[in-house]
Chains A and B, each alone.
Chain A
Amino acid sequence: MPIITFSSDSYRKSREIAKKTAEALGYKYVDRKILSSVAVKYDIPEAKLIKTLDETPSFMGMSSKAHKQYLAYIQEAVLGELLDDNAVCHGVAAHLYLLGISHVLKVGILMDFDERVRQVADQEKVSIEKAKKIVRRQEKQRKRWSLDNFNLDETDPSLHDMVINISQIDPEEAVSMISTATGYRKFKPMTYSIKCMQDRELAARVRVALLKDFPDVRVQARDGTVVAEIKALKREKHRKSSAVKELVGNISGVHYVEVHAINDIFRQAAESGR
């Protein structure tokens, strides 16, 4: 059975629907609770991981390097959890790193702008005008976050398989619609989609192992073959490639490592300017 990911402009409402969907289908529910185990594993305050999912790096806030690293830890953990299907996933941006996997049903939950404004006004005890500004800022923030981290516009409905406006459809009805959709054959796990999932999980683990030493690393995996793309100066290529192979070679599931060391043009330019 498939995996269902939720994303929304209304975190609380979509969480409610996601939880109810998991209950209705008897699926595992994966949400931000997973962050506590990530925090323990990597010895990072959980609050920083939550911040990673909500905010973009900034001069006064989290550095870009830390943000990238924490997000990689989160991805690694979430993908590990989702290796078994029959899961509902909410609040960890999974829809952005599970694109292209056919047994992932990506659900977008929308709420009318005015309703969101009213909710914010009630929650924050602010005027409607102020609430409008907050909602617009949140929208902008979501868009920027997804573009910065995944080069995808989170607010684009075409990223989803199903978009439900909960200002028009009751949560119970939404749960029923989503549950019905999971029965469609097109969302059934198949050898290809399961392998895609395994490849992505392996790539995430490898990336985590490399990020500290190779912050720009890009990793792809297929059937145990891992391709790591790193930046290096010409004279460093051999040494860095060997270092990657040593770091990755013993990771479970890795059978072969290929390193593509591409020219670090910025460092090269900096060096030649000296």
Chain B
Amino acid sequence: MAEKLEVLVLDDEPIVGRRLKPALAKIGCDVEVFQDPKEALERIGQKEFDIVVTDIRMDEIDGMQVLEHVIKKSERTKVIMITGYAMISLAREAMEKGAFDFIAKPFQPDDLRLVIAKAAKALDSPIDFEIPPPNGA
């Protein structure tokens, strides 16, 4: 069996981590959830994650800073930005800084699972995930 994808989820709203952890575990991810960016950065310093999912707007340290930090530490890590304040300038800035993808909140767990699957493929660790067709067709 392939090794589990190591995923860090950072969002200052506890509900996001609570929802995403089981959703990603279902597709074979080992998920660590953080609400405090400082703690998340500390953990990123200790361990190389395959994927980091981070909110953008947070107090003290924002998602862009997290992105820069992760890219600096490990170019291999794929960073997925999530935000409730999506707009073209922010999206372009994130991509320019090296984000793997950018998702606007609210989103369905399948939306993130699909992006995680793409990231896994880019990491040469493909996972088995396809979005189920609508209405179970």
Contact = CB atoms under 8 A, between A and B. Distances in A.
A160 to B, nearest CB: 13
B86 interface: yes
B96 A184 contact: yes
A191 B115 contact: yes
B88 interface: yes
B51 interface: no
A195 B115 CA distance: 13
Given A100-B88, A101-B88, A192 B103 contact: yes
A196 to B, nearest CB: 8
Contacts of A212: none
Nearest to B104: A192
Contacts of A101: 88
B34 interface: no
A102 B114 CA distance: 20
Contact of A186 (B86, B87, B96, B115): B96
A186 B95 contact: yes
Contacts of A186: 92-93, 95-96
Contacts of A223: 108
B102 interface: yes
A102 B115 contact: no
Interface in B89-115: 91-93, 95-96, 98-99, 101-104, 108, 111, 114-115
B96 A192 contact: no
Contacts of A102: 88, 91-92, 95
Contact of A190 (B95, B108, B114): B95
Interface residues of A, number: 14
Contacts of A195: 104
Contact of B102 (A100, A184, A187, A191): A191
A274 interface: no
A188 B102 CA distance: 11
A41 interface: no
B115 A192 contact: no
Interface in A180-207: 184-188, 190-193, 195
Interface string A5-37: 000000000000000000000000000000000
Given A185-B95, A186-B95, A186-B96, A191 B88 contact: no
Contacts of A184: 96
Interface in A135-191: 184-188, 190-191
Top 7 A-B pairs, shortest CB-CB distance: A186-B92, A102-B91, A186-B96, A190-B102, A192-B102, A185-B95, A191-B103
Given A186-B93, A190-B102, 20 more contacts: A100-B88, A102-B88, A102-B91, A102-B92, A102-B95, A184-B96, A185-B95, A185-B96, A188-B95, A190-B91, A190-B95, A190-B99, A191-B101, A191-B103, A191-B104, A191-B111, A192-B86, A192-B103, A192-B104, A193-B91
Interface of A: 100-102, 184-188, 190-193, 195, 223
21 contacts: A100-B87, A101-B88, A102-B88, A102-B91, A102-B92, A102-B95, A185-B95, A185-B96, A186-B93, A186-B95, A186-B96, A187-B92, A190-B91, A190-B99, A190-B101, A191-B102, A191-B103, A191-B104, A191-B114, A191-B115, A192-B103
